[in-house]
Amino acid sequence: MNDDLETLTTRTDAALAGAADLRAWDAVRIAVLGRNGSLTSMLRDLGKTPPEQRKDRGAALNRLKDGLTAAIEARKAQLEDAALDARLLSERIDPTLPPKPNQSGLIHPIARTMEEIAAIFGAMGCTVVDGPDAETDWFNFGALNIPAHHPARADHDTFYLPPRAGSETPMVLRTHTSPGQIRTMLAKAPPIRVIVTGRTYRADHDATHSPMFHQCEGLVIDRQMTLGHLKGCLIDFLRTFFAISDLPVRFRSSYFPFTEPSMEVDIGWNRKTGELGRGGDWLEILGSGMVHPRVLANCGIDPRQWQGFAWGMGVERITMLKHGIADLRPFYESDLRWLRHYGFNPLAPTMLHEGV
């Protein structure tokens, strides 16, 4: 009665031994355990066995199934190990060979935008400064006239760090680059013309926001500074950066704790096509305003003698608009294919005469 089971075992063992690769192994597996396989057919025909023999026959078939399944899986493991060994042998690297020629590196779009910003404002007399990523509460909020109840101070918006040794005040990952302005005003007497660039951190993450992003802020302090100077500076920057000589620029009243008066800056665009400088729609691009007298006083500058204006923008935001990038997240995914598409030649420096 069990002769057919022994025959199937012998035939399967021989087929597995002759399977030289995973494709041949899979053919054996299907022939035995598949829907129409030999063992499957035997299990299907169990109901035709006489009742007095059915119990013994069923037990024998189950033992055979367990044994063949184990043998098939063991052979698969052997073939996979052999395939891996062959692959490792064929892909072995000879360190004595000369390196293969590779495509030259590219400048990341964010780095390129920061270079362009520095070139444009540098032509206006600004120097580039930076500051630490971890700031005290006073540099990040207090000196900038941001009150204790302001939403930016909330735990769900700001990354707080443990206090330093000997201090009870927690550190924060800076939420903007404005602390760089405070440090500059404390370290340098007016007149001042600087831009502050660098990483900033906020608890926000989606297609247009990231927990870590880059900002650029500017600060100009001198005697008799007016909104006219601010508007002229920003209009020239935006038209130069986007290479649109007649780019529409609009200033709207707003509120920021560190400027008074405060203004949002919009540029003309087409909402349907996304084209800049065309259409009757407006797109908010940055914030600006005259430096609040209290901020100047916090830094030891007499607001009765000195006035200033400041502005701030997201580097990723203006990069996305200029180059038609719809999603913020690929900026940080280290995808070389994306970088080859949007990257810039490192041997082509930013030059104003090139129309940046």
Residues 222, 190 contacting (CB under 8 angstroms): yes
Residues 158, 202 contacting (CB under 8 angstroms): yes
pLDDT in tens, 253-284: 999 999 999 999 999 999 888 889 887 899 99
- Residues of the chain with pLDDT > 90, as a percent, come to 44
Looking at residue 223, its pLDDT comes to 93
Query: Quick check: 14 pLDDT over 70?
Result: yes
Looking at residue 5, its pLDDT comes to 82
pLDDT category at 355 given cuts 50, 70, 90 is very low
Question: Concatenated DSSP letters for 116-155?
Answer: HHHHHHHHTT-EEE---SEEEHHHHTGGGT--TT-GGGST
Average pLDDT over residues 145-173: 76
- The tokens describing 26, both together, are 């899979």
Contacts of 171 (CB under 8 A, 6+ apart): 134, 135, 136, 160, 161, 162, 163, 164
Looking at residue 252, its pLDDT comes to 95
Average pLDDT over residues 165-170: 72
- The tokens describing 227, both together, are 């909104």
Helix (H) or strand (E) holding 234: helix 227-241
Looking at residue 208, its pLDDT comes to 64
Query: Quick check: 2 pLDDT over 70?
Result: no
Per-residue DSSP letter, 107: B
Q: Report the C-alpha gap between 16 and 27 in whole angstroms.
A: 10
How much is the mean pLDDT over the chain?
87
Q: Report the C-alpha gap between 284 and 44 in whole angstroms.
A: 71
Looking at residue 101, its pLDDT comes to 64
| Nearest to 214, CA basis, from 317, 340, 350, 115 | 317
Do β-strands 259-269 and 249-256 pair in parallel, antiparallel, or remain unpaired? antiparallel
Backbone angles phi, psi at 211, to 5 degrees: -60, -25
Residues 201, 174 contacting (CB under 8 angstroms): yes
Q: Report the C-alpha gap between 84 and 158 in whole angstroms.
A: 48
- The tokens describing 157, both together, are 């918006």
pLDDT in tens, 23-73: 999 999 999 888 888 888 888 888 888 888 888 888 888 888 888 899 999
Query: Quick check: 250 pLDDT over 70?
Result: yes
- The tokens describing 265, both together, are 């800056």
Q: How many CB atoms lie within 10 A of CB 16?
A: 21
Q: Write down the pTM of the prediction.
A: 0.67
CB burial readout 168-180, b (16+ within 10 A) else e: eeebbbbbbbbbb
pLDDT in tens, 120-142: 999 999 999 988 988 888 888 88
pLDDT in tens, 68-107: 899 999 999 999 999 888 888 887 777 787 766 666 788 9
Q: Report the C-alpha gap between 175 and 201 in whole angstroms.
A: 5
Average pLDDT over residues 289-304: 94
Q: Report the C-alpha gap between 312 and 287 in whole angstroms.
A: 6
Per-residue DSSP letter, 174: -
